[in-house]
Every structure is written in structure tokens, then in C-alpha cells.
A and B are shown apart, each in its own frame.
Chain A
Amino acid sequence: MPAPLIFSTMSEAITDRGKPGSMTVASLLTEMAVIIMELDAYRIEDEPYYEAVGNEISQFKAAWASRMPIMLKGPTGCGKTRFIEHMAWKLQRPLITVSCHEDMTASDLVGRYLLDAEGTIWHDGPLTLAVRYGAICYLDEIVEARQDTTVVIHSLTDDRRILPLEKKNEVIRAHADFQLVISYNPGYQSVLKDLKESTKQRFGAIDFGYPDAGLEAEIVEHESEVDAAVAATLVKIAERSRNLRGHGLEEGASTRMLIHAGKLIRHGVPLGEACEVALVLPITDDPDIREALNSAIAACA
């Protein structure tokens, strides 16, 4: 399964593709063809493992039917990204993922002119690629991006479904298969960093939580290949840390962390140690909480 390429900035993506300085008009055309082919590289061949927690699959399918923009909410490591991969596979669409960060500008999403020996050439950003060729564009952790960046998606997320490229004097009508999906972690940051109301209201939302204990244990068992009893203990440990959410911890241990712990255990690390490495140490720097968590872990096994 080719991993979906994640652009951090556009320039990085270009260096990946070769030296931009040597482009000619002819090579630009081949470049376009390459891009179209590369969208194929964004296709997901094998089914990503995903266990439905609720009705999110049917909800997403319904939203897809009308290409409704969707917001995936939920704590980190609860399976948002895996879910969208799974859906992209199910719907047979390429998936373009962009991890947002605070230095990201609108050009990083939309594209920009670059220079080469001949002159200036336009280069599509990941969002533009998705809009042009009909992919699912997944903007991960959208709140991290600056607000002036996020407004570029406005025209795409109402019934216009267009993307104006101001610099290039071009308006792109979205491909019929284009869909925009963002993820949003309503954590403590939301006081200082929040989506604009006008952005929020363009999206339907699917809320993700951690699965219930039984299901989560199954997931841990499947992904890390530990036996059922160990998986159940790991889930119990995770619940301990989730009790502290908002009372010392920003976030409890995620399903992802449990899988990490499980993988360590499978390779012979004792449970207590594995939990310390995979759960306790990454999650907090506060010695009191570490101590308390380690004691709680000791109580669980």
C-alpha cells in the first residue's frame, strides 16, 4: 500500500519530484501527465483495517454522496486518519493529506509561481490538485493553520465549489469527485486557536471517541498481535489515564499508544516497561503524574 504523500510545504513536494530549475514547456506537459499519474499514487490499494465505532461509515457515505464537506472531531490517536483512509479505499478515491501547521500560507495549499531558467511557472498546491483531478483532500489538524489560510477553502465548501487562483487569474471548478475533509481536535487549545464561526458552519461533523473497552481491546489485539488478555489489560490501563484527562493530562492514552505498547510487549518487553515507554513517558513530563500512572498500571496487572 503506497503511503499517501503528505505535503508539508509545496517546496518540499517539488524537491521530491526533481529539480525545478530544469523545466521547460515540454517538460511542463510531461509534468502534468506525471501529476495525473501521481494521483494514482494517492490511491489506496489494500483495505486499511478499521473497526466502526458507531454509524460513522454510513454517515460518511451519505455525506460523500452529495460531496458535503466533513469535519472529523476527536482526540488524537482515536482513528480519524485511519477512518478517512478506510473511506477513501472504500469509495475508490485518491486521498491527498495535508498536515497543517502555523507557518502554512494559502500558497502552500493552493500553489504558487516558481522560477526556472525560462521564466515563471505555476505549480499547483495539494488542494488545487485535489480540486482539479477529483480527490479527497484531507486537511489534518486544521486549527493549527492560520485563520487567513483557512479561508481559502470557503469558496470550495459552499454550493459554488470553485477555487479561485488569484495569482494565476484562474477559477477552477471542482471536479465532481472532489471532497474536502478536515480534522479538528477540540482540545484545550480551542480557546486561543479556534476555527472561525464562518468556517465551522460549512462542515458536517462526525465525532470520534475512543471505542468502548471490548472493541478497543479487539483493535489493539488485531493491530499489535498480542493476546486478548494483554489487550484487555492495556485498555484498562488506558482508561486509568483517561480518567486524568483535564485533571493533569491534556489527553488520555490513545488507541494508537496502546497499539505501540502492544507491539513492544510482543517483542518481549514486560508489560510495565512497555507501558512506561509507550504510554507514560510520552504523555506527561510531570513526575507526580508519571508516578501515579505507573502505580495505576501496577494495580491493573
Chain B
Amino acid sequence: MTVTELRNLIHIGVGPELEYVEPLSDKVLNVFPETLIARWLRATRKLEQAGYGQVVVRRYVRHSVAVAEIVSPLAAINLADAVSTVAIKAGIACAEALPRVAEDAANHLKEDQLYISWMGIVVRFAALAPESMSALLDRMDYLLDSLSVSRLEAWVFAGLRASGGDVVRRQRFFAFDDPEAERWLQRESGEVIFSDLEMRLRYYLDALWGFRNPLREPPINAPKQARRRSSFDRGVIRLPTSYPGYRGVQAEDLYRAAVAHIGAHMAYSGDRYELAKLKPIQVALVSLIEDARVEQLAMQEFPGLRRLWMRFHIAQATGALTAPSLFARLSRALIDLDFDDVDGFVRKGRELFFDRRAEWGDPTISREIGSLLGNDLGQMRVQFNARTYVVEPPYRDDNLGLWNFDDEHQEDTLEAEQLFDSVRIEQQEDETETPDREREEIEERPEDDRKRANVENVEIDGIPVARYPEYDHETGRERPEWTTVVEYPPTVGETSSIDDFLDRRSDIVHRISNLISSARVSRHQRVRRQQEGEFLDIDACIEAVVSRRIGDTPDQRIYGRWERRNRDLSVLVLLDVSESTNDRVLSGTETVLELERNATALLAHAMAGLGDPFAVAAFCSDRRESVHYYRIKEFDGEYDALAKAYLAGLQGGYSTRIGAAMRHAGSELARRLTHRKLLLVVSDGEPSDIDVSDPEYLVEDARKAVQTLSQMGVDVFCVGLDSGGDSYLHRIFGRRNVVQIDRLEALPERLPMLYLRLTA
């Protein structure tokens, strides 16, 4: 068949509109056998007539040709049915995404049979969990990176089962918001993975070098290259999710070697090298020498590291003189004194390096030696491709942290990390997207945005849930149904900010964990000197007899018993997120709200650890008609990633009508069936609202609210963040129920401790 014939076929057999096929005609003819072209055209035509929109058809045409090429023409034709099913079950957007994902999947799977099973999973999934389809498609490439088809299926169904029909939970699972998703994935992929070893590696780094930098995986969307090797940059250490091909003990050793190596860099590498005019090959060599230099220094301190590192140097002194092979041999020659390499370049490198043994403490020698060697390689005409170069042996890091790239900002760890993420994402997009596709995207966007904006508008409206009275101290009476509490869904924020904080303050976290384990009750306690009990308290008995002998009245309480004291309390933490919490703390860079948030994160950590049922809510107010109330964590809910995300998403605004908020929180707490009910209010300022001019009014109302709540059996306790707030806080809560925190920075530490004391 020729292009003309194909064109005729399009016109005669299936219709004139398939103009998208034309530019691909040559390829179509190459890929599809004649017998199948008509079927493929019919499938395309069917998709077009189904009315899923042009984008679906256009993408199907483009990507199905690729699928046909990689897997088989039949698979490509079947793909049309899958696209159609997905469009019906899960919506057009998913159908639009599917063809490209299908091409990626084809690259992973290649075999016809596997590919058909894969499509089966997608189609079934669309019927079972249509709402999570797009999340699944987004991550398909990532999933197929580590899973075979059967394992993918196991993972998908694990997710469906785990959520037990709950749509929200399902969405979170497939969007990887639920940590379970990652855990199951690791189980399915069956390799030693970073998160299993994370704590171990962290302790290892700390023990060896005393560094407590956060260890992180590369972001999910980082390019593949960046996921293969470890990396360190401004305090954050990235380790690959797994080292493919290494299993069991070997993989553990590899991680350990990687961490020890980065620790050596952090201990001995000096300031970053300036890039200046170095060629890529010189950069690579300077890095290599620097690697060897810091390892030598580290081995002087910790001789055992040599054993750990050496086993990964497996380069042989034979083979082609390519740059990667020479580099690997040089690396080995610099650490392994028994390694004998006849190559002149490797020998020269080793001589240069060991001749300057006395100067190993000086980072600049790496640069000198590396540059020299780089010149040599240049003269040897050895090709070096910086783009495909991957550092060997695998435990070594990508050395980006050694160099000063001018275009980077010098930011703090945390910001840098986010920056790093976004940079990586940009790279990713650059890599995969063709200009063609971008144009399509732009065309679609306005519509998308409109839809999204609508959704947000719907969300922003809160639901009025209750009206509460307010106490007017002038008249001494309550105004019934005076305030309206409106519940708003909390905003989802970045949990990383909270995790980073917890990492940074691991000392506090650890201390709290210790306190928790000692406070966690249900331990038997011996109670002595009781009126009645299960055993005689010998000391008391002796004393009683002694008293009788010397003519005193003996004490009757001579028994003792074992008692098990249970914690039986519910806690609701109510956070003030009024406008003033956006102020920065005097001596620091954090805002009051950030401190509140971090403190609550620590507190929640403690409470979750103790197993006390607790809830977290936040409030602010905008006149009496609208007291905003955000439920961050419910009593019934788990303290999980979502609750953390809500906590991280808190924003300050509006005023502080504290009475209404306390009544609302209190009424929820009063319904709890526990012995003790504790309302813990964290507030930074005097109650106020824009429709109230009398400064006494809201203070008195709040006081009344506290009294009402205590009649209902709810203890109210306040943590005041306003050091000048003694007077009114004491008036509202009572002197004994207020703790003032003068040094706000100490709040995160103080709050959980305070809680433990309150509930001890």
C-alpha cells in the first residue's frame, strides 16, 4: 500500500475527517501490516464518532502508532477500546491522558501478553475506582519503574481493598497522600528500599559524624538520572529509593556506604569549588579526586570504612579506554592499594594523588590534580559525555553539592529543598514534552481553569453549623442565638514543612517519646496506707503496733493494694488563627502561627503516641455572623498525613471571637464519654472582633463561656502567647488555668510537656 492508497482508504472506507492520520501516513504504513490498517482506522473512526473530543482522537492516533511499533499493532488497536471504556467510566480527561501513558507503559512492558494484561488492569480500574483514575495514570510511569504487571495488579487491588469502598480514602491512596500506598508499593517491588533503612541510616550518620541532616528520597517526578545516585546539597541528603540490582545485605551496605561517603564530604570537603572555566570532564575528575581525598581522610579516622567502600570497587584493569571505565579504574586505584593497573593514565592519577599525601587535608589539591588529569584525557581523545555520565561505584554521590553553580540561590535548607523540587520538575517537563503537546495544553487550559475556579468557589463557602448565645456583661444576660459558627473545610498544605520541623527538632520528638512511654499508663501501681486493700502494708502495720505500744492512737490505714490507673480523657486543641498570628516573633523569622502549628504537630505526636483521643480545630472570626471554625483533626480520625496537611495549610486571618469558638468546641467535647474532657486553647491575643467596640464585652463573654463549659464537665486550659495578656487571660480562664509563654520560640517544646503535666 502506498501513502496515496492509504489516503484513499481514509476517504472511502472510514470518512474524510481523519486528517490527523495524514502527517503520520508513512509511519502508519511502516508499522501496521496491510491487513490491520483498516481495523486501526475503523477503531480511530469509532473513537471520533463517540464524541470524546478531538484531543482524545489526536492523542490516540499519535501514541497508538508508537504502541504498535513497540508492542504490536493489535495492542494498538485494542487500546482504542480501552480509551473508550475509560472515557465512559472515568471521564474525558482520563481518556485524554491514557494514550500517552499507554505509550510509556509500552516502553516498560514491550511484550504483547503483558501489555494486554496491563490494559485489562486499567479498564477494570476505571470501572472500580473512576475517581482515582487520573491519579493512577499520573503515576503509572513511576509505578511501572518498580513493578511488573502482576505486581502492579496486586498493588492496585491492595489499594482498592485497603480503602474498603471509601472514595476519599481511595483517592488519597492512589494520589500517594496515604503513606500506605508507598509502603505497599515497596512491599510489591520487593527490594531493599530507602524508607526501610531510613532511621538506621540516620542514626548511622549521626553516630559516625554527628550530622543530623534530613535524609530524603528524590522527589517522585525527578528525572531518572537523579534517582540513581545519592546527592547532597545545602544540608539535605538525597538517597535513591532503591538501588536496583542490589538486594538484601548488599543493598543495606550500599546505602550505608553512600551515607558514610556523604558524611565524609560534609566533614572534609571545604567550600564549594567555583566552576570557572573547567570542562565537564575536568569537573568529573576533580569530583572523583575529591571523593578519594575525603575517603582517605575518613579512613584515617574510621579505618573500618575501607572495608565498607572497597567491596563496591569492582573495576577491572582491562577493557576499552572509555571515560567511564577509566574513571572507575582510577577510583579503585585511589582506594585499593593492591589494585594493579597498567594504564598510564590511571597510574599517573594514582601517583599524583599519593605524592601529595601530606596535603590531603587541603581541598584545593583535588582541583589541581583533577584539572591536570582532565587535560591528559583530553589529549588522549577519550570521549566524555556529561549527559549520560553516572558516577561509579554506585555508593558515590552525584557531587552536585561540591560545586557552586552560579544560577542557584543560596537559600536555607527548607526553601532550597522546595526549590530543588521545582527545578527538578521543570527539568522533567522539559524532557518529556514536545512543543506540539504544549500547544495543545495551552488550548485546553482556559476551560480547565474555569472549571477549577468554580470548584473552589463552592468549597470556600462554609456551612453554618450552630448558633450560640453570647453574654452581655452590661445587662448580665445572655443574648440567645447571637453568634453563628460556620465550619469551613481546612486548606491542604505541604506536610513537608511539618515533617522538616519534626526532623529538625528530633531531640524534642525523642524526649517526648520517652516521656510518653513513661506516662503511658496501665502500669500497676502499689498504693499504700489504705483503709482497705488486698495485702497488709507491713510498714504501716509495724507503725500501728508501735503506736499502740507507746500509747498513741494507731493509724487504721494498714492495707495496700495494686491499682491500675487508666488514662481516660479526651482533648480538643483549639488554635487561634486570627490575623495577629501572622506577626513574626520578635527574635525570629517564624510567625506566631508557624510556632502554633509546630507546637501542635509535636503535641499531636505526643497525644497520638499516648493513644489519648484528641481533636484539633482552629478558629477566627469575622463578625458575629461568621465565626470560622476549621476541623483539622476529628476525634474519630487518625492523626495521619491528611490531618498533617490540614495543619500545615492553616492560614491566619480575621479576628478573635474566642467565646463562640470555645462554646462550639466545648459542645463537641461535652459529648465525649471520657472521664476527663480537656479543652486546650492556644491564643495569642485579647478577644476582639470588628463589630464589637467594648473591650470588656468579649472578655466577659469568654469568661462566661468557660464557666458554662466547666458546668458541663469540660476543663478549659489556656496557653497564652501574649506576654502582656496576664490580666484578661486570668480573668477569662482563672489564674491557675493559664500558662503564659514568654519566649515564643519555646512553645513547640513547652506545649507537649505542659500537656503531659496537665494530664499526669
Residues of A within 8 A of B (CB): 103, 105, 107, 112-115, 119-120, 188-189, 191-192, 236, 240-241, 243-244, 246-248, 250, 288-289, 291-293, 295-301
Contact = CB atoms under 8 A, between A and B. Distances in A.
Contact of B200 (A120, A240, A246, A291): A291
A293 B204 CA distance: 7
Nearest to A301: B304
Interface stretch (B47-55, B229-237, B358-366, B513-521): B513-521
B518 A189 contact: yes
B1 interface: no
A280 B542 CA distance: 45
Contact of B550 (A120, A246, A250, A300): A120
Given A120-B546, A301-B304, A243 B207 contact: yes
Interface in B407-422: none
A259 to B, nearest CB: 21
B206 A244 contact: yes
Nearest to A105: B539
A244 B207 contact: yes
Contacts of A297: 304
A115 B204 contact: no
Given A105-B539, A288-B199, A296-B208, A191 B510 contact: no
The binding surface of chain A is classed by DSSP as helix
Given A191-B753, A293-B203, 4 more contacts: A115-B549, A119-B549, A250-B514, A288-B203
26 contacts: A103-B526, A113-B550, A120-B549, A191-B753, A192-B519, A192-B756, A192-B757, A192-B760, A243-B209, A246-B511, A247-B206, A247-B212, A248-B206, A250-B514, A288-B199, A288-B203, A289-B199, A292-B203, A296-B204, A297-B304, A298-B304, A298-B308, A299-B260, A299-B308, A300-B302, A301-B304
Candidate in B203, B511, B514 with the most chain A CB atoms within 10 angstroms: B203
B203 A298 contact: no
Contacts of B206: 243-244, 247-248, 292
B455 to A, nearest CB: 43
Interface in B720-760: 753, 756-757, 760
Contacts of A119: 549
Contacts of B302: 236, 299-300
B15 interface: no
Contacts of B539: 105, 107
B669 interface: no
B317 interface: no
B297 to A, nearest CB: 13
A247 B507 contact: yes
Nearest to B526: A103
A279 to B, nearest CB: 12
Q: 4 closest pairs, A vs B, by CB?
A: A292-B203, A296-B207, A299-B304, A299-B302
A123 to B, nearest CB: 11
Contacts of B515: 188, 191-192
A192 B518 contact: yes
Interface in B540-599: 542-543, 545-546, 549-550
A293 B304 CA distance: 13
B445 interface: no
B256 interface: yes
A114 B549 CA distance: 11
A23 to B, nearest CB: 15
A118 to B, nearest CB: 10
Interface centre among A107, A244, A293 (most CB of B within 10 A): A244
Nearest to B302: A299
A301 B507 contact: no
B451 interface: no
Interface in B194-230: 199-204, 206-210, 212
B387 interface: no
A104 to B, nearest CB: 11
Contacts of A295: 204, 256
Contacts of B260: 299
A189 B516 CA distance: 11
B117 interface: no
B203 A244 contact: yes
Nearest to A298: B304
A236 B303 CA distance: 12
Contacts of B199: 288-289
A115 B510 contact: no
B545 A299 contact: no
B452 interface: no
Contacts of A288: 199-200, 203
Contacts of A107: 539
B207 A240 contact: yes
B303 A115 contact: no
B545 A191 contact: no
B548 to A, nearest CB: 10
A295 B760 CA distance: 39
A289 B202 CA distance: 9
Q: Which of A189, A250, A292 has the most B CB atoms < 10 Å from its CB?
A: A292
Contacts of A120: 546, 549-550
Interface string B494-522: 00000000000011001100110011000
B305 A299 contact: yes
Q: Which of B304, B308, B756 has the most CB of A within 10 A?
A: B304
Nearest to B260: A299
A151 to B, nearest CB: 18
Contacts of A105: 539
A28 B506 CA distance: 59
B307 interface: yes
Contact of B542 (A112, A298, A300): A112
A239 to B, nearest CB: 9
B215 to A, nearest CB: 12
A288 B196 CA distance: 10
Contacts of A192: 515, 518-519, 756-757, 760
B750 to A, nearest CB: 10
B201 A300 contact: no
A296 to B, nearest CB: 4
A228 B202 CA distance: 31
A188 B549 contact: no
A58 B637 CA distance: 61
A110 to B, nearest CB: 13
Contacts of B545: 115
A298 B206 CA distance: 15
A244 B511 CA distance: 13
A74 B507 CA distance: 19
A189 B506 CA distance: 17
A248 B549 contact: no
A189 B756 CA distance: 12
Contacts of A246: 507, 510-511
Given A103-B526, A246-B511, A301-B304, A289 B542 contact: no
Contacts of A293: 203, 207
A188 B200 contact: no
B109 to A, nearest CB: 37
A248 B511 contact: no
A296 B507 CA distance: 20
A61 B621 CA distance: 65
B307 A298 contact: yes
B208 A240 contact: yes
Nearest to A292: B203
A46 B506 CA distance: 46
Contacts of B305: 299
A149 to B, nearest CB: 13
Contacts of B518: 189, 192
A113 B510 contact: no
Contacts of B207: 240-241, 243-244, 292-293, 296
A296 B307 CA distance: 12
Contacts of A298: 304, 307-308
A191 B757 CA distance: 9
A196 to B, nearest CB: 15
Interface in B606-665: none
A218 B486 CA distance: 70
